[in-house]
Amino acid sequence: MAKIMNEVSRTFNEYLIIPGLTSRLNTPDNVDLKTPLVKFKKGESPKISLNIPFTSAIMQSVSDSGLAIALAKEGGLSFIFGSQPIEDQARMVTEVKKHKAGFVESRANITPEHTLKDIIALKEKTGFSTVGVTHDGTSSGKLLGIVASRDYRLSRDSEDKKVKDFMTSFENLFTARDGISLSEANDVIWEHKLNSLPIIDENQNLKYFVFRKDYDNHIKNPNELSDSNKQLIVGAGINTRDYEERVPALVDAGVDVLCIDSSDGFSEWQKETIQYIRKKYGNEVLVGAGNVVDKDGFLYLAEAGADFIKVGVGGGSICITREQKGIGRGQATALIDVAQARNEYFKKTGEYIPICSDGGIVQDYHMILALAMGADFLMMGRYFARFDESPTRKMFVNGNYVKEYWGEGSNRARNWQRYDMGGNSNLKFEEGVDSYVPYAGKLKDNLEQTLGKIKSTMCSCGVSTINELQSEAKITLVSSTSIIEGGAHDVIVKDRDK
C-alpha cells in the first residue's frame, strides 16, 4: 500500500497569529517589507530583492506588460505569462523595460470612424477616460485626435455620432515630440492647464501619454522596483518544452528573472530546463522553479540550481487539480514543510533559497500568515485579476461589475505545457476553470490598503521586518467554532447603503 502521512493537510484559514509586545517603535512607518527574490550566500546580498513581498501569477488573465508596469511601480514584480507566442511575450518584456516613468503607452485607442457607442464601450471595458484616436485604432498609429469626457454629453449626443465629429482634433492639441524629459512634459501640462499631453514621433505616430494625475502618483512611488539603469524590473514565465527558443528571446528582450511555470515542479523536465540555462548563461540568468509541496520536491529543485522555489499544488481559486487528479496538499502545511527544508538547507550549505507561496490566499490576513510560516514572497492571480491594470475585460454581470479570470489549465488558456508530463501536446482534461472576479478598481489603491493590513499585523506582533516576523511570530491552530467567533456574530449587521 502507499505510504500514508497521518498529518492533517491544513489551510491558512485554520490558523491565527498571537499578538506580541508592540513597542513604541512598532509603527507602520517603521515596517520594512523588503524581501529576497533570488538565492544568495550567507553574508552576501541577493541580485534582486522585492520592495514588497508580492508577485503576480504567470497567467493570461493577470500578467501582461500593463500590470507588470503598475506592480513594479509599487515595489513588486510580475511574471509575464508564457502561454503565448515567443515574440509576443518578448515584446511585452521590452515594453516594460522601455517604459519611462510618467510616459504611459495608450491602452485605449479607436479610429475616427467609430462611434460614441464604441467610446462608451471602450471606456467601460478599460476604465480609461482618455482615448487616443489613431488612423488604425492602435496605440502606435498616426495620432488624429483624442477623446476625453469633456468632448461629449451622453444626455444630448447620439450614440451613432462618429468619433471624428466630436474628438479634439490633432490641430487643436498640445503635443510634444518623443525625447522630451518628464520634467519638461509636466511643465507643458501645468503651463497650459492640460489633463494629458500626447507624445508623438517625427511621423506623428502616438508614442505615449503624460497625464497630470501621474505627476502626483510618480512622487508617491518611493518603492518602485528598478534596476541600475532606472528601468523597471520584470519577470517572465517559461515552460519545459520550447525553452531553447524562448529563453534566448526573453534574455535579448531584457528580462530580469525567469520562472518555470508548472503545476507540478518535482520533475526531470524542470531539472533539464535549469541545466540548459546554466550551461548557456551560467548564473547570469536567474530562474525560479516549482511548484512543490514537500521537502523532497524542494531539495530536488534546490540541487538542480533553482534561484527560488514556488510552493503550492491545487490551492489556487481557479485550480481544480486536486479534484481532477487527487494530488496536492493544504497550502499552510506545504509551506511550513518546505520552509523548514529551506532553513535546513541554508544551515547546511550557507545558501539561502527564497520560497514563494503560490495559491491558497482567500483573505488578506492569509498573506501575513504565509509570510510568518516562511514564505519570502507571495504569487497571486485572483488578487491582481480584479484591477484595472489586468488585461481582461471589465463587464457588468448580474448587477455587478466584474473582470474575467481564467486558469492556465482551462480550455480557454490551452496552456498544456504547464501540465506537461512528457507526452503529446493535447490538453486531455481541464485543471482550471473560466470565471469572473469582482471588479475592485485601481491596483495602487487596493494594494495600499492590503499592505496597510500587513504592516498593522506586524506591529501587533512587535516586529518590523519579514525576517523578524518569521523568527518571532507565534501561530496557533483554531477550531471551527473560533473561526465563527472571529467574524461578526450574534448581531444584525446594518446595510451600509442605508
Q: How far is CA 73 from CA 77, 440, 446, in A?
A: 9, 19, 14
- Active-site pick, 107, 246, 319, 382: 319
The single-letter code of the amino acid at 237 is: G
Judge whether 287 and 250 are in contact, CB under 8 Å.
no
Q: How far apart are CA 226 and CA 48, in angstroms?
A: 10
Phi, psi torsion values for 146, nearest 5 degrees: -135, 160
* Straight-line distance from the first to the last Cα atom of the chain, in angstroms, rounded to the nearest whole number: 60
Among the options 382, 418, 459, 461, which is catalytic?
Answer: 418
* Residue 418 falls in the annotated catalytic set: yes
Cα separations in angstroms, 155 against 148, 152, 158, 159: 16, 9, 8, 10
**Best CA proximity match to 372, nearest among 480, 458, 459:** 458
CA distances from 37 to 77, 78, 377 (A): 9, 12, 7
Say how far residue 8 (Cα) sits from the centre of its chain.
31
Helix (H) or strand (E) holding 403: strand 400-406
* 356 tagged catalytic: no
Q: Give phi and psi for 54, each to the nearest 5.
A: -125, 135
3-class secondary-structure state, position 199: strand
Which one-letter amino acid corresponds to residue 284? E
Q: How many Cβ atoms are within 10 Å of 111's Cβ, its own excluded?
A: 17
Give the residues across from 145 on adjacent strands.
133, 169
Beta-carbon contacts of 330 under 8 Å, excluding residues fewer than 6 positions away, are 8, 9, 10, 11, 315, 360
Cβ-contact 171, 165 below 8 angstroms: no
Instruction: Please say whether the beta carbons of 404 and 61 come within 8 A.
Output: yes
Which of 463, 371, 364, 470 lies closest to 28, judged by CA?
463
Residues 178, 185 contacting (CB under 8 angstroms): no
What is the CA 189 to chain-centroid distance, rounded? Answer: 31
Show which residues are catalytic: 319, 418
